[in-house]
Structure 1
Amino acid sequence: MKNFALIGAAGYIAPRHMRAIKDTGNCLTAAFDVNDSVGIIDSLAPEADFFTDFECFYEHAQTLRRRHHQALDYVVVCSPNHLHHAHIAAGLRLGCDVICEKPLVPTPALVDELACVERETGQRVFNILQLRHHEAIVQLRNKVSAAPLNTKFDVDLTYITSRGKWYATSWKGDPRKSFGVATNIGVHFFDMLHFIFGPLQYNRVHYLSETKAGGYLEYQGARVRWFLSVDASDLPASVQGKKATYRNIDVSGEPLEFSEGFTDLHTISYQEILAGNGYGLKDARHCIETVHSIRTSTPRVGGPGEVHPFVIKLSR
């Protein structure tokens, strides 16, 4: 049994990590969040110590370090995006391996910084890239690998997840903290595309705002038109008033259906990490480079066939 601490216990994704810790037969011994709305802990780890001050949490973790049977083995980071780097580094310096949600950090330079801390501490950082474990995505990757050499698939990726007025007030709506919509809701899709289609060869942004973004990516095995949005007005007429989310990934005329099969992906990720097969800094770098490039790009007019249909609608 391994001892875990969780930073960001009140967040949306934290319960999946709590469940994964429990389902892999391990123990959540300490948790921290500035928000104390963490009642979910009662059903998953009621004995965990809880802190709302990071300094108290950190000192507690240091105290546990001197009690060998209680020392932390892993620190899990589910805090807001802009705090990931600091919290990962703190976990490493506590003598723990660290498991962090996406996006790991906002820039490739900070990946390099974390690599330095890994070397200094002898500990490891693992990123949750759970879509790589999804059966439908693994099957598509195998299909792409079996295709004739130099085959390029044509992909349209559309993801619209409506957010209310609260979003703009929260850290998620602040680009200084979330690093923008393409990073906050898109990073796992860009990792998925790299996982399936190989290295990125070309990246052009056609539209970029606080609530939506679109562009064109060319991978070794695919040409991808993409559009991401948190604006309900972008929902297709067929789903407006019926659903708050629209997700469609079309691969050379065939839809990639992966609406199901998400329940256990965090647990599978934990199983792989505990078995020594987790995804580390090198694995996470590609999608971080992609979103950093998107975030710092100046939108340009797209070439023939490169512009996503939803971006074309915005210009009308």
Structure 2
Amino acid sequence: MKRFALIGAAGFVAERHIKAIKETENELVCAMDTFDVMGRMDSYFPEAEFFTSEKELVQFLQQAKPKGKPVDYISICSPNNLHIKHIELALKNGCDVICEKPLVIDSKDLEKIKECEAESGKKVNAILQLRHHPAILKLKKDIEQSDKDFFDIDLNYITSRGKWYFKSWKGDFEKSGGIATNIGIHFFDMLTWIFGKVQKSNVSVYEATKASGELVLEKAKVNWFLSLDANDLPEVATKASKRTYRSIKVDGREIEFSNGFTDLHTVTYQKILSGNGFGVEDARESLDLIALIRSIR
């Protein structure tokens, strides 16, 4: 059984991490968030310590070692701009890391992380959960076995958000990295993982609520569209009263991958705990891409 700490415990995605820790039969011993209402933890780890400051967390980590109960992993679910700071905190305190997307906003920070990894002897694991989705794994296998050398891809991802979004850190470009970083990173990672490195990128639209462009990879041309605006939902989604729509078409053929998202964090944790997690270099291509998209928006 591994002992976990979690930073950013009040965030939406944090519950998937807490659930994954529970389902992999490990223990969350402490959590930290500046938001201090954490009733969700009672359903999973009611005995876990809870802190509202990094100082308290670091004191706990330092006191746990002499007691023979060191924290093995720190899971990071804090706002995107704080990831690099919290990764360094974890490594400097002798903990391996599991970090939500994006690993960092600025891909230049990856070198800093690698230096900290070397100094600490610990590893940073990136959450790239679409690489574990059965439909995406099948697509990767089909592409590898195909006689074709080049494909046409259409990616559409609309996940409508209310007014709260734009008053939170997610709607702050400096804190989230903008729409391509905040909601596009997993899809860009998945596409570059399957279809190869970026050759060219054009951005047609880049606004607070939506972005679109054309991407040329080694094995594909990708037309992509991302939106937070419910008005962009297609009729098939609105008729079903759905506020999220995901679509990937490969040469006009729809790849169905709408289901199975909620369990991917547990699968990711299983892989990491068995020594098969994705590291810094695995995250680099998509992080370089979103940096390029931001620079030419």
TM bracket (short chain): over 0.9
Counterpart for residue 113 of structure 2: 114
DSSP-derived class of the 2:39 partner: coil
DSSP-derived class of the 1:108 partner: coil
Instruction: Give runs of ≥4 in structure 1 deviating > 6 Å.
Output: none
Structure 2: how far apart are the matches of 1:3 and 1:169? Answer: 34
Q: Is the 8 A contact 1:144 1:221 kept in 2?
A: no
Structure 2: how far apart are the matches of 1:18 and 1:138? Answer: 25
DSSP-derived class of the 2:258 partner: coil
Structure 2: how far apart are the matches of 1:143 and 1:239? Answer: 28
Where does 1:1-316 land on structure 2 (aligned, <5 Å)?
A: 1-68=1-68, 70-148=69-147, 151-240=149-238, 242-298=241-297
CA separation of 1:123 and 1:249: change in aligned 2, threshold 3 A: same
Q: Is the 8 A contact 1:103 1:187 kept in 2?
A: yes
Structure 1: how far apart are the matches of 2:54 and 2:34? Answer: 8
Quick one: which amino acid aligns to residue 258 of structure 1?
A: F
DSSP-derived class of the 1:213 partner: strand
Quick one: which amino acid aligns to residue 42 of structure 2?
A: D
Q: Which runs of 5+ in 2 are unaligned?
A: none
Structure 2: how far apart are the matches of 1:90 and 1:206? Answer: 38
DSSP-derived class of the 2:22 partner: helix
Q: Is the 8 A contact 1:74 1:99 kept in 2?
A: yes
Counterpart for residue 314 of structure 1: none
Structure 2: how far apart are the matches of 1:136 and 1:274? Answer: 23
Structure 2: how far apart are the matches of 1:108 and 1:247? Answer: 26
Q: How big is the shift at 1:233?
A: 2.0
Measured against aligned partners, the alpha-carbon deviations of 1:116-170 in whole angstroms (never above 9, x if no partner) come to: 1111111110001110001100000001001126x11111101111111111100
Quick one: which amino acid aligns to residue 18 of structure 2?
A: M
Structure 2: how far apart are the matches of 1:270 and 1:194? Answer: 22
Structure 1: how far apart are the matches of 2:268 and 2:227? Answer: 27
Structure 1: how far apart are the matches of 2:199 and 2:145? Answer: 20
Q: Which runs of 5+ in 1 are unaligned?
A: 299-316
Structure 1: how far apart are the matches of 2:220 and 2:205? Answer: 20
Quick one: which amino acid aligns to residue 38 of structure 2?
A: V
DSSP-derived class of the 1:40 partner: helix
Q: How many pairs are equivalent?
A: 296
Percent sequence identity is 51
DSSP-derived class of the 1:196 partner: helix
Counterpart for residue 302 of structure 1: none
Quick one: which amino acid aligns to residue 116 of structure 2?
A: V
Quick one: which amino acid aligns to residue 189 of structure 2?
A: D
Quick one: which amino acid aligns to residue 270 of structure 1?
A: Y
Measured against aligned partners, the alpha-carbon deviations of 1:225-252 in whole angstroms (never above 9, x if no partner) come to: 0000111222234544732122211111
Quick one: which amino acid aligns to residue 40 of structure 1?
A: R
Counterpart for residue 312 of structure 1: none
Structure 2: how far apart are the matches of 1:145 and 1:296? Answer: 32
Q: TM-score, normalised by structure 1?
A: 0.91
Structure 2: how far apart are the matches of 1:19 and 1:239? Answer: 28
Structure 2: how far apart are the matches of 1:252 and 1:67? Answer: 59
Q: How big is the shift at 1:207?
A: 0.9
Q: How big is the shift at 1:264?
A: 2.0
Structure 2: how far apart are the matches of 1:139 and 1:209? Answer: 33
Counterpart for residue 310 of structure 1: none
Q: How big is the shift at 1:107?
A: 1.6
Q: TM-score, normalised by structure 2?
A: 0.97
